[in-house]
Amino acid sequence: MEILAFGVQADEKPLIERAFRDQEEVRCLDVFLNEDTAPIAAGHEIVSTSVNADLGAAVLEILAAGGTRMVAQRSTGFNNVDLDAAERLGMTVARVSSYSPYSVAEFAWALAMAVNRRIVRASIRTRDFDFRLDGLMGRDLHGRTAGVLGTGKIGEAFARIAHGFGMRLLGWDVAENPACAELGMRYVPKDELLARSDLITLHVPLMAETRHLIDAAALKAMRDDALLINSSRGGLIDTAALVGELRAGRFTGVGLDVYEAEAGLFFLDKSLEAVEDDTLARLVTFPNVLVTSHQAYYTEDAVGQIVDATVRNVLDYRAGRRSENVLVPRS
């Protein structure tokens, strides 16, 4: 029976088709799952979705009415899924609980270095044969302090790179990571971390407790010359408050791979359309801000692991097995 995969990127398609080749038939669509596209899944018992899929109650009800019994999400985060509705409808929901932490940690560092050393501005200048150095001065990170909010696998990978740079490490999490402590990380309250860190990076999941973890008060607690990096989930930062601080001339650099209103924007070509999101439009105009389109996870290694885990989730569903990836078990 054919599996329908929504939101498949061009680079991702051959990996999915190859992974499923000996197990299941799969059809890949480049459209994202939402209320308008959900009827396409009629007659498909299993659908696979991307990180920006709409899996709210309305969409799940359309899927269930069309015969879908399993949703295999190709991401770790599941804040886009109405798990209560899925359970009520008798649908199995699985995610990818982990994949290469290095993909995200390394990209977070790419953002940090790009905004610190003004790489984008320098590249644009040299393409115009403008070789001045005015406005391109960065700072050594050696000897400065990195604050890591969330010290799980990705946060640990980021901390190891920071340690290699010779940075002091501050951490904040609900539980300490012994591997980070061995690197010399000191766990402190969030406010202290924000006030003392030259570089702040976010690696926590998005849930009710962490939504707008970096709110107006948190932003004001940060140093005026801090670097702020978010490669986790857009909703961790109050973007409107961030724009307000940037307008006041604060922060050396901000690197964002995620945006709290990215659904319906990221992964799509909007270059010929009028920009309706005033907050995002203002955000990208700041010369010390770099926004990318949720690509931190997008390496051959990580996507390959995501796809392989998705195949295992489908096979487990077929066999009636339950793994750590299952969010709503088969009824």
Query: Which residues are part of the catalytic machinery?
Result: 233, 262, 294
Q: Is the dihedral of CA 78, 80, 82, 86 positive or negative?
A: negative
> 18 near 304, Cβ under 8 Å?
no
Helix, strand, or coil (residue 32)? coil
Question: Smallest Cα–Cα separation from 227: which of 120, 101, 110, 134?
Answer: 110
Q: Which residue has the tokens 């570089």?
A: 199
Spatial separation of the C-alpha atoms in residues 199 and 141, rounded to whole Å? 9
> 297 near 103, Cβ under 8 Å?
yes
What HEC string does 250-298 produce?
Answer: CCCEEEECCCCCCCCCCCCCCCCCCCCCHHHHHHCCCCCEEECCCCCCC
> How many H helices and E strands in the chain?
12, 13
Question: Smallest Cα–Cα separation from 94: which of 310, 306, 303?
Answer: 310
